[in-house]
Amino acid sequence: MASCRWPWRRCGSWRPAARSPGPGSPGRVGPPGPPSTADASAQMPYFNLVKSLTSAFPNRYSMSRFHHSTSASCCHSRTQSGEQYSDPFKLGWRDLTGLYEDIRKELLISTTELKEMSEYYFDGKGKAFRPIIVVLMARACNIHHNNSRDVQASQRSIALIAEMIHTASLVHDDVIDDASSRRGKHTVNKIWGEKKAVLAGDLILSAASIALARIGNTTVISILTQVIEDLVRGEFLQLGSKENETERFAHYLEKTFKKTASLIANSCKAVCLCPGMPGPSGA
């Protein structure tokens, strides 16, 4: 076999080690037992491969360096059609002008202290990651549906609602975790106390629910109210743990989906089913 260009790479010479049958029926893989000397030796090629990679590419060893270098080069590269890649935050932000001002308008509160607490995190210092994802999904759907890049008012409302639900969960999380700082400043519970912080989070959720009801689409309402249930279940799952390693990993995946991914996924689903969009619940 011809020698490879890279000294650390042996072309076709390494493959995943075959797993030996367990104590079950012939040919079946049984439950893993204690690692033997042979098993440990079988893992050495992988260790040596990783070690060689980090030696050959020292500048790529840090994942953060790799991320920033590839994203920077990606933004300056072009597709086959000649279209230049764009920063997604710049691409979607024009649809979110006045995002936090509009959210504060939804928090119609006459009590000064309660208003200050509920508006505390809507200061424009957040990343607005979820609203950006939502409006980009809306634009992607609209360009295929009616050849328009414009985001509908109801779709933009979903972006606001997603940020409100997320922020309410942060207020409640800080109470549960007894956190004292977030985004470089004191938390709501640190300043006003836990009881008032819980009420502030509830108020943000209620304002989000009112904004959601105004969309007037029962399918969209059902999708986003499921998010609130998932947030509660996810937080509850985080309070527990599993002893078995396999169960613990499955527990972690379920918790992570309900606490974090559900809001993003269901918000994107909701903008695709807004009034005027194709589908059973659209037009």
What structural domains does the chain harbor?
A: 88-220+264-272 (1.10.600.10)
pLDDT of residue 246: 83
Q: Which residue type, as a one-letter code, is found at position 60?
A: R
Sequential pLDDT tens for the chain (283 residues):
454 444 444 444 444 444 444 444 444 444 455 555 555 555 555 455 445 544 544 444 343 343 444 444 444 444 445 556 677 777 777 888 899 999 999 998 878 899 999 999 998 888 899 999 999 999 988 888 776 777 889 999 999 999 999 999 999 999 999 999 998 899 999 999 999 999 999 999 999 999 999 999 999 999 999 999 999 999 999 888 777 788 889 999 999 999 999 999 999 999 999 866 655 555 4
The pair of three-digit structure tokens given for residue 103, joined into one six-digit string: 């959210």
Long-range contact list for 196-202, CB < 8 A, 24+ apart? 196/113, 196/114, 196/117, 197/117, 197/171, 197/172, 198/171, 198/172, 199/114, 199/117, 200/114, 200/117, 200/118, 200/120, 200/171, 201/168, 201/169, 201/171, 201/172, 201/175, 202/168
Q: Tell me how far apart the alpha carbons of residues 268 and 159 are, in angstroms, rounded to a whole number.
A: 9
pLDDT of residue 282: 55
Contact 238, 245 (CB under 8 A): no
Which of 217, 188, 215, 216 lies closest to 202, judged by CA?
Answer: 188
pLDDT of residue 14: 47
What is the phi/psi pair of residue 36, to 5°?
Answer: -95, 175
End-to-end CA, the chain: 63
**CA 228 to each of CA 167, 168, 219, 231, 278: distance values in angstroms, whole numbers, following the listed order:** 12, 10, 15, 5, 26
pLDDT of residue 275: 66
pLDDT of residue 229: 94
pLDDT of residue 180: 94
pLDDT of residue 277: 61
pLDDT of residue 281: 52
pLDDT of residue 137: 93
